Amino acid sequence: MMQNKQKINCTVQSCAYNNCQENQCTLKQIIVTPCQDCNTQKADESMCSSYKYNQEKQ
């Protein structure tokens, strides 16, 4: 349980879990995984594996 009640902000509008009006992920928990063959020591080393494409948002 998250005691700090943190929020996940997201600007990926094609994701079914994105509240586009607030740029916020609506999942209670997300899965973050490393990118394959990526060792840049920057943010692109990880990605949200909880992403689900929502065709209706396009």
Whole-number pLDDT of residue 37: 78
- pLDDT of 16 reads 95
Query: pLDDT at position 14, please?
Result: 94
What mean pLDDT is predicted for residues 6-11? 90
pLDDT reading at 3 higher than 90: no
Strand bridging mode 46-48 / 18-19: unpaired
- The DSSP line for the chain is --TT----B---TTBTTEETTTTEE--SS--EEEPTT---SSGGGEEETT--B-GGG-
For 11, the token pair is 């600007």
pLDDT (tens digit per residue) in 29-42: 999 998 887 777 87
In the predicted structure, residue 1 carries a pLDDT above the cut 60? no
